[in-house]
A = this chain, B = another copy of it.
Amino acid sequence: MTSLAQLASHFDLAYEGDGEVDISRVATLSGAQPGEISFLSNRRYLGDLAKTTASAVILAPEFSGKYSGNKLISNQPYVTFAKVAEFFAPHRAKPDGIHPKAHIDATAELADDVSIGAFSVVGADVRIDAGVQIGNRVSIGAGCYIGAGCVIKSGVVIEHDCQLGERVTLHPGVVIGADGFGLARDHDRWLKIPQTGRVIIGADCSVGANTTIDRGAIEDTVLAEDVHLDNQIQIGHNVKIGAHTVIAGCAAVAGSATIGANCLIGGGAGVVGHISVCDGVTIQAMALVTKSIRQPGIYGSVAPLQENSQWRKTAVRIKQLDDIARRLNKIERTTDD
């Protein structure tokens, strides 16, 4: 139990209302019970604020007047919420040491406090730094380097010679360093291009469940620091992604594309191969980037949803568009006469 006043003091924030109220977990505005603290970071939830039964709410100064209950005032209410949630998060005991049913190659070098789960395999010449936590059934190929503080969840595969910086998190089912998709047409058959590059992941990156990042063909595939990939994403060979870029689920970046820093790529969006996207670009969900983008900004391409009977008419007209435009040109010439 922590009082609101104690929380405010711990995070160096102001509070208003009853500082003695006890807080023991976080909750949403609509789901909060007494003893829980919630937050407002999105105008969309102002209606929930009026009705919340939370014992306190984290909110920005400009919304303070909208709420008469106990509150914690923060210029970054969502960041403060993240920190308070971490403060109250239940922490299971950290796994302990190397499970006897893991298989560690004799040439691997592990720091003293590394933990590795059952049925995990660590290959030859792997180096694992301090504090790394590896789940069950993880494969780490020969020659990999895993930086201090990395967390590798169950079922991950890291192929040979890849490198993770400090504090990288890989969620379950991630595959790092599979061969890129390189084929040359040799008369009537396909010939595989050897994929001899690596995957290099910077510090503080996270990679979502079942996401795949292919190794480079010749050069490396590289994520800079603080890059965050959601689930089910595909990153092709030789791709470079700049620092602080965030990519939502099911997006794909094709081979040899370069994404700048501080970009936001929406869910299901695609970036074709061999192009560049500059820093500070937002791509909307399910949009396709077919040419390099050289100006920061927000870009989209997905048609609005319509009820089917309307959409079928729209779809017919889309196929007529060139004809429509030509007919309009003709009328303009006529009416200009």
Contact = CB atoms under 8 A, between A and B. Distances in A.
Interface of A: 26-28, 31, 42, 44, 76, 78-79, 81-83, 85-86, 89-90, 92, 99, 101, 103, 117-119, 121, 135-137, 139, 141-142, 153-155, 157, 159-160, 171-173, 175, 178-179, 181-186, 188-194, 196, 204, 206, 208-210, 212, 214, 218-219, 226, 228, 230-232, 234, 236, 244, 246, 248-250, 252, 254, 267-268, 270, 272, 274, 283-291, 293, 295, 297-308, 310-322, 324-325, 327-328, 331-332, 334-335
B136 A136 contact: no
B319 A304 contact: yes
A317 B306 contact: no
Given A103-B119, A121-B117, A178-B172, A324 B324 contact: yes
A141 to B, nearest CB: 8
Nearest to A205: B190
Nearest to A304: B315
A248 B186 CA distance: 19
A192 B287 contact: no
A145 B19 CA distance: 39
29 contacts: A26-B218, A82-B192, A82-B193, A82-B194, A86-B194, A92-B142, A118-B121, A121-B136, A139-B154, A159-B172, A172-B175, A175-B210, A181-B231, A181-B248, A190-B244, A234-B249, A234-B267, A272-B285, A284-B308, A290-B305, A300-B311, A301-B302, A301-B304, A301-B305, A301-B311, A310-B322, A313-B322, A331-B331, A331-B332
Contacts of A254: 248-249, 267, 285
Given A153-B157, A250-B234, A186 B121 contact: no
Contacts of A191: 79, 82-83
Contacts of A141: 154
B230 A181 contact: yes
A204 B313 CA distance: 39
A234 B232 contact: yes
- From A117, A160, A192, A303, name the one whose CB has the most chain B CB atoms within 10 angstroms: A303
B249 A267 contact: no
A128 to B, nearest CB: 17
Contacts of A175: 155, 171-173, 209-210, 231
A76 B187 CA distance: 9
Contact of A231 (B27, B214, B283, B306): B214
A135 B138 CA distance: 12
